[in-house]
Amino acid sequence: MLSRLRIVLVQTFHPGNIGAAARAMKTMGLTELVLVNPRAFPDDEATRLAAGAADVVENARVVGSLTEAVNDCVQVVGASARLRSLPLPHFEEPDAMAESALDCLQSASNNGQDAPVALVFGRERSGLTTDEIRCCTHQVSIPANPDYGILNLSQAVQILAYELHRAWRSREDSGFVYPTPGETTPPTREQFGHFQRHLHEVMAKSGFLTQPHARTEEQLQALFSRAEPSRKELSLLRGLLSALEPDTPPRDR
């Protein structure tokens, strides 16, 4: 579904903003970028600021008009300050826009169509014109400080792309799984008991436990319980304790 979400940039002046927008897209799983009459493209600055998203920049499509960029779309959302003179449906919050966009894509799929949804961003200084807004089916605004609501182009792309990704991953059919660390196997209670006894011996031999009624040992045990160390991490802690008493024979791990 994310592959059918299109980002359209209209007459981008600074090529670096194209690269930064591509980077914002790729972090959220979006890959289709369409450029309407960019001032300078291709450009080394766009590739440089794309960082690891150079492939999005290289695959970007350049067209001569906004109409050409969105003609095949089932929904076109213009990112802009609200223009009350136009009777377009307006999303006051980006999350509502994201849910609507995905619903639209799902409806198209149910009808056997692969038509995309486009998010349209205007020029850095002046945004979208009234005529360009008329090419859209909806508007969306990003709530911000009313005294200074100016966002960089790539920042606006990042916010809306994040909302689209958030809405997508919350759906049952997204298949999204958060990555987990490679070593997460918890220790057995026996292994944790070995660690607690080892810790007690080292603290006692070092003279650290000078006040038996201070609950120091109990508090440390609670600390390690809350930390939920993995087997590998617990083994590392055991190794540290052993290094503090080099003459002691190895213990059960």
> Within a domain: residue 253?
no
23 and 62 part of one domain: yes
C-beta of residue 5 within 8 angstroms of C-beta of residue 28: no
> Which pTM value belongs to this model?
0.74
**Domain span including residue 67:** 2-174
119 and 49 part of one domain: yes
> Within a domain: residue 170?
yes
- The rounded average pLDDT for each run of 10 residues, N- to C-terminus, in the chain (253 residues) is 96 97 97 97 96 96 97 95 73 96 94 94 92 94 89 96 96 76 78 90 83 78 88 90 73 57
C-beta of residue 136 within 8 angstroms of C-beta of residue 6: no
The pLDDT value given to residue 90: 92
> Within a domain: residue 195?
yes
The pLDDT value given to residue 252: 59
The pLDDT value given to residue 77: 97
> Within a domain: residue 183?
no
Pairing relationship of beta strands 90-91 and 61-63 according to DSSP bridges: unpaired
119 and 221 part of one domain: no
